[in-house]
Amino acid sequence: MSKREFQTEVEQLLQLIVHSLYSHPEIFLRELISNSSDALDKLRHLTLVDDAYKSLPFDPRIDLELDEDKKTLTIADSGIGMSEEDLISHLGTIARSGTKNFLSQLSGDTKRDSNLIGQFGVGFYSAFMVADSVEVVSRKAGEDKAWRWISDGKTGFEIEPAERPAPGTTVLVHFNEEGAAQYANSWRLQEIVKKYSNHIAFPIFLTYDKSEWNETDKKSIKTRTTEQVNAASAMWRRPKAELTQDDYQELYKSISGDWENPLFWFHTKAEGSLEYTTLFYVPAKAPLDLYQSEYKGGVKLYVNRIFIMDDSKELLPPYLRFIRGIIDSEDLPLNVSREILQQNRVLASIRTASVKKILSELKSAAANRLDDYVKFITEYNRSLKEGLYNDFANRETLLELIRFKSTEVAGLTSLADVKSRMKEGQKGIYYITGGAESLLRTSPLLEIYKKKNLEVLILDDDIDEIVFSGIDKYTDVELKAVNKSSTDEDLKVAAAPDNTDLLKPLLDKMKATLGDRVKDVRASVRLADSPSCIVSDEDEPSMKMQQMLRAMGQKDIPAPKPTLEINPDHEIVKKLLLRPADAVAEDASWLLLDQALLMEGVPLHDPAMFVQRLNRILQTSI
């Protein structure tokens, strides 16, 4: 027997599960059955498409066997099984278990953290919430040897050769005292199976001691009984009229590992040139790995009820990766691969129709289920914005679905509502990007809009400037960034005096002082209270965007050259008009630029010099 230690992260995980996440121990059975179902799915697929496996006998089933006297529960399947290397890699190290990612996401909220067990594929370890020790005997399909993995969840694990007559995996759970009290009875096990695993596509059998009244002897006797305890049907193939809300919610929890009910589900059966069924769910909470590059797709692909894969990113566009559910096609080949999926016309048609269906249903929810839609947009607004960047076919619908912060109303608002509030003569819908909400709301760029009572949208997501720089209109109304020079004409007041000649000497002096740090220095039409601000031309990224692009590794981004605008009515500017081009005026010119940069959230080019100039100005004014 080979004794091994757990990898550090697995040891940490086991400690957390046993001592911190004990609020929902019943999930151990859900997770072990789910693992068995996955193993059966994989072997069934191989027996259909891989010549090396076609000759293997395949009788898909999951068997639970309860021994109340020994306080043990056995979960056995006839699935693909594991080799010695698989057992070590999946159960003793991080490998593909997602353990490190799981640990990084823990919050201290036990209900939420328990839910993560299923999401991150570390469900096997939940057995140690109810067990003193766990044994796994497994034989991989196509191999003759079987192996036993044994652990108490504390001191590491042992591996040794074993016997198993057929491929598959058997998990033997030795209940601890609390586990035995709660789960070493058949009624409780049946209840859990029906709650979480009723719609697992394979039959689940429970063997247990059943008490029956013997009329002859006038006493209760125990007989060893085996019963199927789940429906074992492809629920998504049944007509919607036959299904209840509980049916949909149970299936969602079984395929997602989520504790909470979904916000929405959309069930579609298509008939005609293509035949397929889709059942999509929107989780109540966004998956915690939603914005990580290694996210795993949440839609399972079936062909004629036969599982094909569950991690393909081709099934839906990336911005809808939060969707969980099932696509079951009549027209795809069983041996379809990820490479084939990328260019398969059938899947492309299903994908296109599915996206339109999802967005259409969300639009309906926005109109008819406002409270639920607010919850949805709180979780997924940013994801929908990603769609604006690359899903041109559905951009119009996405613009209807996305919600925005605004200077006019509390909470979030739609573009349709913003349009309805436009003032007479207003030339577009205005927005500001470039940093945190608190920074944007206090930006000098908004001063004239506030003064003229014009609404401005606050776009504070880090992707907003990238996304909205490529969108010119909403319906027939232009979308305009307030930090772009193209809004100048919108803001000019017809009766404003022309003081260009008066200002020109000062503007020329400031431009000469600032040199190639600015593109231009000019009088502003957008400032009311602040002395200065910076703007960009219509066809160039803002200072904040240039900073982001360089941070992302784009070294060829040229040094930023903003246009500095000064407020002719501000007291500082009026005093500079009367001052010769001395050292104080030069310091003031630099400080007007630096404070405008700071208000945009852009780091100063030379903080030490900024402090020196500020100190010199303070010395002359005290």
Which structure tokens are listed for 361? 């249903």
pLDDT band at 96 (very low <50, low <70, confident <90, very high): very low
Judged by average pLDDT, the poorest of 305-309, 411-415, 607-611 is 305-309
The residue among 534 and 90 whose pLDDT is bigger is 534
Question: Residue 116 pLDDT > 80, yes or no?
Answer: no
Which structure tokens are listed for 163? 């016997």
Amino acid at 495: A
Average pLDDT over residues 415-430: 93
Residues of the chain with CATH 3.30.565.10: 2-228
Cα–Cα distance measured from residue 41 to residue 34, given in angstroms and rounded to the nearest whole number:
10
Q: 502-534+557-621, superfamily in CATH?
A: Heat shock protein 90, C-terminal domain (1.20.120.790)
DSSP sequence for 370-397:
HHHHHHHHHHHHHHHHHHHHH-GGGHHH
Does this model's pTM top 0.75? My answer is no
Cα–Cα distance measured from residue 33 to residue 41, given in angstroms and rounded to the nearest whole number:
12
| φ, ψ at 155 (rounded to 5°) | -100, 15
pLDDT at 277: 95
Structure confidence by residue, pLDDT tens digits, 374-406: 999 999 999 999 999 889 999 999 999 999 999
Please write down the long-range contacts of 511-516, taking CB distance under 8 Å and 24 or more positions apart.
513/581, 513/585, 513/586, 513/589, 513/590, 514/564, 514/589, 514/590, 514/593, 516/561
pLDDT band at 15 (very low <50, low <70, confident <90, very high): low
323: left (phi over 0), alpha (psi -120 to 50) or beta: beta
Q: What percentage of the chain reaches a pLDDT higher than 70?
A: 86
Question: Residue 186 pLDDT > 60, yes or no?
Answer: yes
pLDDT at 279: 97
For the chain, the average pLDDT equals 85
Cα–Cα distance measured from residue 6 to residue 11, given in angstroms and rounded to the nearest whole number:
6
351 DSSP assignment: H
Query: Which of these, 274, 228, 227, 234, lies nearest to 254 by C-alpha position?
Result: 234
Residues of the chain with CATH 1.20.120.790: 502-534+557-621
Which residue(s) pair with 62 in the sheet? Answer: 77, 204
Structure confidence by residue, pLDDT tens digits, 43-53: 998 998 889 99
pLDDT at 431: 94
Amino acid at 444: P
Cα–Cα distance measured from residue 189 to residue 206, given in angstroms and rounded to the nearest whole number:
9
Question: Residue 462 pLDDT > 80, yes or no?
Answer: yes
Residues of the chain with CATH 3.30.230.80: 235-372
Q: What percentage of the chain reaches a pLDDT higher than 90?
A: 51
Question: Residue 271 pLDDT > 60, yes or no?
Answer: yes
Cα–Cα distance measured from residue 408 to residue 100, given in angstroms and rounded to the nearest whole number:
44
| φ, ψ at 422 (rounded to 5°) | -60, 140
Cα–Cα distance measured from residue 20 to residue 365, given in angstroms and rounded to the nearest whole number:
37
Please write down the long-range contacts of 400-403, taking CB distance under 8 Å and 24 or more positions apart.
400/363, 400/366, 401/359, 401/362, 401/363, 401/366, 401/377, 402/377, 403/377
Look up tokens 């602040």; give the residue. Answer: 530
468: left (phi over 0), alpha (psi -120 to 50) or beta: alpha
pLDDT at 490: 67
324-329, strands of its sheet edge to edge? 264-270, 276-282, 324-329, 299-303, 306-309
Of 200-214, 230-244, 357-371, the range with the highest mean pLDDT is 357-371
pLDDT at 97: 43
pLDDT at 544: 66
Which residue(s) pair with 76 in the sheet? Answer: 63, 170
pLDDT at 470: 85
Question: Residue 95 pLDDT > 60, yes or no?
Answer: no
CATH among 3.40.640.10, 3.40.50.720, 1.20.120.160, 3.30.565.10 for 2-228? 3.30.565.10
pLDDT at 39: 92
Strand 219-228 to strand 276-282: parallel, antiparallel, or no bridges (unpaired)? unpaired
pLDDT band at 350 (very low <50, low <70, confident <90, very high): very high
Structure confidence by residue, pLDDT tens digits, 476-499: 999 998 887 666 666 664 334 456
If you compute the radius of gyration of the chain from its CA atoms, what whole number of angstroms results? 32
Measured over the CA atoms of residue 81, residue 84, residue 88 and residue 89, the dihedral's sign is negative
pLDDT band at 500 (very low <50, low <70, confident <90, very high): low
Cα–Cα distance measured from residue 233 to residue 129, given in angstroms and rounded to the nearest whole number:
30
Judged by average pLDDT, the poorest of 141-150, 417-426, 540-549 is 540-549
pLDDT at 195: 80
Give the count of beta carbons closer than 10 Å to the beta carbon of residue 131. 26
Residues 6+ away with beta carbon under 8 Å from 309? 300, 301, 338
Cα–Cα distance measured from residue 547 to residue 545, given in angstroms and rounded to the nearest whole number:
5
pLDDT at 495: 37
Structure confidence by residue, pLDDT tens digits, 570-616: 999 999 988 877 888 999 999 999 999 888 888 888 999 999 999 99
CA atoms within 13 A on the CB side of 534: 26
Cα–Cα distance measured from residue 236 to residue 243, given in angstroms and rounded to the nearest whole number:
9
Structure confidence by residue, pLDDT tens digits, 155-164: 788 999 999 9
CATH class given for the domain over 235-372: alpha beta
Cα–Cα distance measured from residue 21 to residue 4, given in angstroms and rounded to the nearest whole number:
25
Judged by average pLDDT, the poorest of 31-35, 195-199, 358-362, 539-543 is 539-543
pLDDT band at 409 (very low <50, low <70, confident <90, very high): very high
Q: How far is CA 36 from CA 64, 81, 129, 186, 576, in A?
A: 11, 9, 19, 20, 78
Residues 6+ away with beta carbon under 8 Å from 488? 525, 526
Residues 6+ away with beta carbon under 8 Å from 3? 156, 157, 158
Judged by average pLDDT, the poorest of 330-334, 408-412, 518-522, 587-591 is 330-334
pLDDT band at 562 (very low <50, low <70, confident <90, very high): confident
